[in-house]
Amino acid sequence: MRTSLSAEQQKLFTDAYSAHSQELTRYARSMVNDRELSEDLVQDVFVKMWLYLCRRGEIVSIRGFLYHVLNNLIVDRYRKHKTWSLDQLLDQGYEPRVDESQRLFDMFDGKLVFRLIDQLPNTYQEVLRLKYARDLSYGEISRLTGQQRNTIAVQVHRGLVKLKELYNQPRVAH
């Protein structure tokens, strides 16, 4: 396997790093709540991108590719370490930081939204997190999940409807 990139691939790599590394680090930090680990995960993302390009891999959507790799690394990390659940973190005062998702959080209390999303069917959980926590477009979500763009749009809409229904249900105060 070759370990160097063409000039065009190097530019693609450095442009991707410049454009997305901070955003990816913020997202990783919101997911793992550990600055050093989030930085390590993002570095691993770019190592994987480098190796993928070395194998002459083609990347259609850089941002989608990077988030897909990062998400897989985070999932792998949680599987290996079986750490805290999001509910446990929320109960202890952890509040996920979400960039550019203020529209959803303007409507709901942030902690409650994450608890309610966990109550939705898995299909809706995934698309809502990709759409609002990651701020991915329907097209990017479609490429990540392999589902049609229209299917994603319908799932997001139905997920939001169900989320609003859950939000409007009477809750017992804790």
Would you state the pLDDT for residue 132? 76
Would you state the pLDDT for residue 54? 84
Would you state the pLDDT for residue 90? 60
Domain ranges of the chain: 1-83, 84-174
Would you state the pLDDT for residue 173? 54
In tens, the pLDDT along 36-55 reads 999 999 999 999 988 888 88
Interior angle at CA 108, CA 172 and CA 170, nearest 5: 25
Report the CATH number of the 84-174 domain.
Answer: 1.10.10.10
Domain 1-83 CATH assignment equals 3.40.50: no
Q: Return d(Cα 85, Cα 88) in angstroms, integer.
A: 5
List, for the chain, all residue ranges whose pLDDT scores fall below the cut of 70.
1-3, 81-114, 171-174
SS3 56: coil
Q: Return d(Cα 62, Cα 165) in angstroms, integer.
A: 35
Q: What percent of the chain has pLDDT over 70?
A: 76
Kindly report the pTM of this predicted structure.
0.48
27-51 burial, b at 16+ Cβ within 10 Å, e below that, comes to bbbbbbbeeeebebbbebbbebbbe
Which residues are within 8 A (CB) of 59 and not within 5 positions of it... i.e. 6 or more apart? 12, 49, 52, 53, 65
Rounded to whole angstroms, what are the CA distances from 163 to 5, 13, 60, 109?
A: 46, 38, 32, 12
Nearest to 97 by CA among 21, 30, 22: 30
Would you state the pLDDT for residue 36? 92
